[in-house]
Amino acid sequence: MTTTKKQHYVPQFLLRRFGTGKKRREKIWVLDKSTGKVFQSSIKDIGHENYFYEHEELSNNIDIEQLLGKTESYVAPLLSRINKSGKLFRDKPELVGLSYFVAVQLARSPVVRVGMENFRRIMIDKWGADIKVHPNDPKTIGEYGVEDAKLSSLKFMKNVPKFAKILQEKVWSLCKAPSQSAYIISDNPITRHNMFERAGRGNLGIRNEGIEIYMPISPEYTIRALCPALSELVSRTPQLSNEYQNVLINGSPVAQLPENVEFSNSLQVISAERFIYARSKEHLKMPIDMLKTNPELREGPRAVAH
C-alpha cells in the first residue's frame, strides 16, 4: 500500500478540469454542505482523506493502489481527448476504460463507508446492539464501528470488475452544456437517476431498468450511460431520434438545455457526502439555494429506517 498521507477519493486530474490557474496549481470553489461555507481551495487539498485506503487488517490480495493507478493512468488522457474533441467514440477499449473508472468511483466514494456505518446504527436502533449479523460471527453488531465500516468499504472495491462489466452493457454518450450553463462536481461524482418506479424497492442499482448514470468531466461536458431499454425509448422519440442517432454513430455530444444542466447539478448536490466543487463561485448559487429549501440535504444520502 502507498504511504502517501493525503489519499484522494476524487482524482486530482478530474478536479483540475473544474479548476482555474496555472498547471498543477489550480484552484477550485468548494461548498461544504454541512456548514454552508463557500471557499476557494487548491486542488491538492480537496477530495482526499488522510490514509483513506489504508487499514491494518486489509487483506494483501486487495491491491487498491494498483487498481487506482492503472485505471487513472488510462482514463486521464482519454478524458483529456474527449474534452478537447467534444466527441465520445464508444469503441471497445474506450468504453472498457470508462466503465472501470466509473466503477472505481462508485466503490471508492466516502458515501459508501458512511452509508455502511449509518445502516449499522439503524439496525441497532431497531433491534438493539446485541444482535448478530450472522450466527457464526463472534461479534455483535454493537461491537462493530467506524473502522469496520472502512475495512468493509475497502473490501467492497473487489467488486469493481463486476460493476465494470455491468456498465459496459449501457449505452454511453456525451452531454454538452450550453454556453450560459456549467456542470459542477462533488465528492461523490457518479450520480444516478431512474424514472422507472419500483414499488417498495430502490431503483438506483446499476442493473435496474431505466437507470441513468452521469459523470461530469468538465464544466462543459458530462458523460452519460443509459440502460439499453431507456436508450431505445429515446431513439424512438420523434423529436429526439435524428440527433440521438448522430450521437450514437458519430460520437457527437447531446446538446443540453439549461434546465438539463441544472437537473444534472442537482443530482451532484443530492449525492454528495459533504463537498461540492465548481469552477466559479457563481456556479454554486443553485446548490446553496437547494440547501436552503431542503436542509435535509446537508447530510449525504442515507438509508432511512422503516
| Domain-embedded: residue 305 | no
The residue with greater pLDDT, 215 or 305, is 215
Region of 154 (left: φ > 0; alpha: ψ -120 to 50; beta: rest) is alpha
Buried b (16+ CB within 10 A) or exposed e, 287-300: beebbeeeeebeeb
pLDDT at 208 over 90: yes
| Domain-embedded: residue 303 | no
CA dist., res. 211 & res. 264, Å (int):
14
pLDDT tens figures, 31-73: 999 999 999 999 999 999 888 888 877 655 456 766 777 788 8
Q: What are the phi and psi torsion angles at 62 (to 5°)?
A: -105, 95
How many CA atoms lie within 13 Å of 157's alpha carbon, on the beta-carbon side?
28
Cβ count within 10 A of residue 260: 16
pLDDT tens figures, 212-269: 999 999 999 999 999 999 988 888 887 776 777 778 888 889 999 999 999 999 999 9
CB 184 within 8 A of CB 106: no
All residues at 6 or more sequence positions from 126 whose CB lies less than 8 Å from its CB, including other chains: 305
CB 281 within 8 A of CB 38: yes
CA dist., res. 296 & res. 173, Å (int):
32
Q: Fill in the DSSP letter of residue 282.
A: G
Q: What are the phi and psi torsion angles at 37 (to 5°)?
A: -75, 135
User: CB burial class (10 A; 0-12, 13-18, 19+) of residue 145?
Assistant: exposed
| Domain-embedded: residue 304 | no
Summarize the confidence of residues 110-115 as an average pLDDT: 88
Summarize the confidence of residues 288-302 as an average pLDDT: 94
| Domain-embedded: residue 220 | yes
Nearest CA-CA partner of 272 in 296, 231, 300, 295: 300
> What pLDDT shows up at residue 53?
86
CA dist., res. 271 & res. 156, Å (int):
19
> What pLDDT shows up at residue 90?
76
pLDDT at 157 over 60: yes
Q: What are the phi and psi torsion angles at 40 (to 5°)?
A: -105, 140
pLDDT at 2 over 60: no
Single pTM value for the model = 0.90
| Domain-embedded: residue 201 | no
Q: Number of folded domains in the chain?
A: 1
| Domain-embedded: residue 89 | yes
User: CB burial class (10 A; 0-12, 13-18, 19+) of residue 119?
Assistant: middle
| Domain-embedded: residue 114 | yes
pLDDT band at 1 (very low <50, low <70, confident <90, very high): very low
Domain range for residue 105? Answer: 6-196+208-297
